[in-house]
């Protein structure tokens, strides 16, 4: 008889999923299944999957390879860019090593120049992301989605039919809907899980290569968490409810979330790339032009590289009310200029609505953990 794992064990499985996916990756490579490395939430994964390839995220969140990266890159560059480049340069990232193609987008200046340098190691295809969510931007991004399709067909010797694209759109829509249902459990008060557990599932689900199976697992986990909560299993006490926004977080940057939760707060919502903004909107399936529908959905993502970034502000406004937020913590990685500048707009939105706000500028080192604990404790005590 198979033992049923308790919820902490299930959360730990998701937390370790990126590392545990290395062996399945190697098994799939033996079967000549292609992998496509990606760096950003703007990557249209449906088109990659329609080519019979597996998209896998390459962004790195560790300072392990930053010294190697700084041999080629300036020290005053975003740690995410330096970490990503460092893992590629040193070949310490198996996902990068096994990727047959790297897809990037012209988001921030650091990433754009990094893609040029990665071209020395791998075949890189860079999509020209418009920085305005306008009619012209919609047309340009649709053209870029089609160009990606053509690049994948050429790279892998396949034909990507509209039928295949629509099939993958359906699969990814169900995946996003399942993840959204899961993180919306955090609207409960007290929340049914720690914010660290929430993030583990949102991030780890991306490294389960069988998307449909992963979706079923997330649906089952949502039902189980809800059932146990209704039965009185409520391990998290009622405490100030915190929304985390700003730069992509994960890995070493999760030290901010730990500091919040170890000092009396509950992180109940992530607006960041691995949180709400990545799954909030689905792709329209009832349309004649599926490529425009894909382009529209991805271009609607609210990111600080957009000008004006009205979609991020609209999403933030909704999340503040829906999750009954008590305070907002914005995480800005050092030298991430777009998020650093945009923190002014976020602070104004949040404080005008009467919510306390705190901005934290950090990197992937452990040097500021004491300071983070002190600041988070003071912020939460104020709430």
Q: Contact 23/95 with Cβ under 8 angstroms?
A: no
Q: How far is CA 118 from CA 78, 80, 111, 261, 264, in A?
A: 16, 15, 10, 37, 42
205: left (phi over 0), alpha (psi -120 to 50) or beta: alpha
272-311: pLDDT as tens digits: 998 999 999 999 999 999 999 999 999 999 999 999 999 9
Backbone angles phi, psi at 14, to 5 degrees: -65, -40
pTM for the model: 0.95
CATH architecture of 7-163: 3-Layer(aba) Sandwich (3.40)
165-205: pLDDT as tens digits: 999 999 999 999 999 999 999 999 999 999 999 999 999 99
H or E element in which residue 216 lies: helix 211-230
Whole-number pLDDT of residue 283? 98
Whole-number pLDDT of residue 60? 85
Q: Contact 88/110 with Cβ under 8 angstroms?
A: no
Nearest Cα to Cα of residue 129 among 102, 111, 116: 111
Backbone angles phi, psi at 72, to 5 degrees: -115, -25
Q: At what angle do helices 195-204 and 7-15 cross, to 10 degrees?
A: 50
- CA neighbours closer than 13 Å in the CB half-sphere of residue 309: 21
Domain ranges across the chain: 7-163
Whole-number pLDDT of residue 1? 38
3-state secondary structure of 158: coil
Gap between the Cα atoms of 254 and 229, Å rounded: 25
Q: Contact 45/55 with Cβ under 8 angstroms?
A: yes
Nearest Cα to Cα of residue 207 among 66, 51, 38: 38
3-state secondary structure of 243: strand
Which two structure tokens, joined as six digits, stand for 232? 């009185």
**DSSP labels for 302-371?**
--TTSSS-HHHHHHHHHHHHHTT-SEEEEEEETT-HHHHHHHHHHHHHHHHTT--EEEEEE-SSSTTHHH
How many CB atoms lie under 10 A from the CB of residue 357? 19
Backbone angles phi, psi at 103, to 5 degrees: -115, 125
Residues with Cβ within 8 Å of 366's Cβ and at least 6 positions away in sequence, in order, are 252, 255
Gap between the Cα atoms of 72 and 83, Å rounded: 12
All residue ranges of the chain with pLDDT < 50 are 1-2
């Amino acid at each position: 008889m198979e033992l049923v794992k308790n919820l902490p064990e299930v959360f730990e499985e998701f937390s370790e999923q990126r590392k545990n996916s290395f062996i399945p990756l190697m098994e799939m490579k033996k079967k000549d299944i292609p992998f496509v490395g990606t760096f950003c939430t703007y990557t249209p994964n449906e088109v990659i999957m329609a080519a019979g390839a597996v998209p896998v995220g390459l962004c790195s969140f560790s300072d392990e390879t930053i010294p190697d990266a700084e041999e080629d890159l300036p020290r005053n560059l975003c740690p995410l860019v330096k970490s990503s480049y460092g893992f590629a340069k040193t070949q310490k990232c198996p996902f990068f090593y096994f990727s047959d193609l790297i897809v990037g987008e012209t988001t921030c200046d650091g990433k754009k120049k990094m893609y040029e340098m990665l071209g020395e190691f791998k075949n890189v295809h860079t999509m020209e992301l418009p920085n305005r969510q306008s009619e012209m931007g919609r047309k340009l991004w649709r053209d870029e989605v089609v160009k990606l399709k053509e690049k994948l067909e050429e790279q892998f010797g396949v034909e990507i039919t509209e039928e295949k694209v629509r099939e993958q759109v359906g699969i990814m829509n169900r995946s996003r809907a399942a993840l959204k249902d899961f993180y919306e459990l955090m609207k409960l008060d007290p929340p049914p899980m720690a914010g660290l557990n929430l993030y583990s599932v949102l991030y780890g689900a991306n490294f389960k290569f069988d998307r449909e199976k992963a979706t079923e697992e997330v649906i089952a986990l949502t039902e189980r968490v809800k059932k146990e909560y209704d039965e009185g299993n409520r391990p998290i006490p009622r405490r100030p409810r915190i929304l985390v926004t700003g730069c992509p977080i994960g890995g070493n940057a999760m030290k901010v979330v730990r500091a919040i939760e170890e000092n009396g707060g509950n992180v109940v919502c992530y607006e960041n790339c691995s949180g709400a903004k990545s799954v909030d909107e689905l792709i329209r399936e009832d349309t004649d032009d599926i490529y425009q529908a894909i382009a529209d959905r991805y271009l609607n993502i609210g990111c600080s590289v957009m000008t004006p970034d009205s979609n991020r502000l609209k999403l933030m406004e909704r999340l503040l009310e829906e999750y009954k937020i008590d305070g907002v913590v914005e995480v800005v990685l050092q030298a991430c200029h777009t998020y650093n500048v945009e923190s002014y707009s976020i602070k104004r939105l949040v404080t005008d609505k009467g919510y306390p706000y705190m901005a934290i500028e950090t990197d992937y080192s452990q040097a500021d953990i004491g300071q983070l604990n002190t600041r988070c404790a003071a912020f939460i005590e104020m709430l």
